[in-house]
Amino acid sequence: MPYLETAVEIAREAGALLANYFERRVAFEVKGEFDLVTEADRASEKLVVERLRSHFPSHGIVAEEGGGHDPQAEYCWYVDPLDGTTNFAHSFPAFNVSIGLARAGQMVAGVVYDPIHQEMFTAERGAGAYLNNRRIHVSQIKRMAECLGSSGFPARKRDHNVNIHFYYQMAMASHGVRRTGSAALDLAFVACGRLDLFWEFGLKPWDVAAGTLLVTEAGGRVSDMRGAPHSVTQSDHLLADNGSLHGEVLEAFGEVFHGRLRVPLPPVP
Ligand code: IPD
Ligand code: CA
Ligand code: CA
């Protein structure tokens, strides 16, 4: 499909731009209370949006830093020009550019590119998921007790976020829970089996559009954290895993939603 090939080219170009800023250690500004933004976010968005517009003038674009237009169009691109800005601003090498395409609300193509490790994750609906052109699959771990998970916490209104309860229960019940600081990479890592599951509250369409397609095309499962179908534009939370774990994780999350904690937090001495 020409859409995916074009998105790959654009992601490679934007990734090179990000890597260049990363080497030069750019300054950051604070967008919200703890929400950082850099010149690199803006320059990458400008590049991606300009390229998409010139290739596909009839398509809509929803981009994190506000560069989009016409989100109701039949084809709509979701662009996170720099996912993992906090990492980036601290010279922590875990970030990517993420570009996903939906047709009539259904994801049809997605690219997540990590320019530091030169890893290009791609997926097309019905055609599988790939890492640097090699087919990838989710892990085969069957039990939560043996899984490695990941989750994240928002920069905005973080004092309203209840995820720490889910995080603690899952950390107690599994091999561990990572926090990479990049939701798109978390999803890409579930797709290629480096992680067995990922969940988070309050993600935006550009964080998850490409990554959720990677997971489903790699044989995994995506829903919201209560088990309802996940919508890139409307869901309040997301659970993505290798499919085998889905039922067990939903059961554990259901208990937390009902305030039943298997392992209470130990008191501070
Ligand atoms: C953030 C990252 C982070 C997640 C936050 C996102 P940004 O995106 O994906 O891992 O925990 O919820 O907002 O701001 O770096 O593009
Ligand atoms: Ca993001
Ligand atoms: Ca971003």
Which residue's CA lies nearest to atom 11 of ligand 1?
A: 152
Distance 98 CA to ligand 2 centre (A): 8
**Protein residues with CB under 6 Å of any ligand 1 atom:** 80, 83-86, 152-155, 181-183, 200, 203, 207
44 exposed, middle or buried (CB, 10 Å; 0-12, 13-18, 19+)? buried
Contact yes or no for 122/218 (Cβ under 8 A)? no
Contact yes or no for 99/111 (Cβ under 8 A)? yes
Residue 268 has pLDDT above 90, yes or no: yes
Could you give the percent of the chain with pLDDT greater than 70? 97
Model pLDDT, residue 68: 86
What proportions of the chain, in percent to the nearest 5, are helix, strand and coil?
35, 25, 40
Residue 28 has pLDDT above 80, yes or no: no
Nearest to 10 by CA among 158, 112, 131, 88: 112
Residue-wise pLDDT for 196-230, tens only, equals: 999 999 999 999 999 999 999 999 999 999 999 99
Contact yes or no for 16/112 (Cβ under 8 A)? no
Model pLDDT, residue 36: 66
Residue 83 CA: nearest ligand 1 atom is 16
Neighbours of ion ligand 3 (CB under 5 A): 64, 80, 82-83
- Residue to substitute in 35, 42, 83, 90 for testing ligand 1 pocket (most ligand atoms within 8 angstroms of CB): 83
Please give the mean pLDDT across all residues of the chain.
95
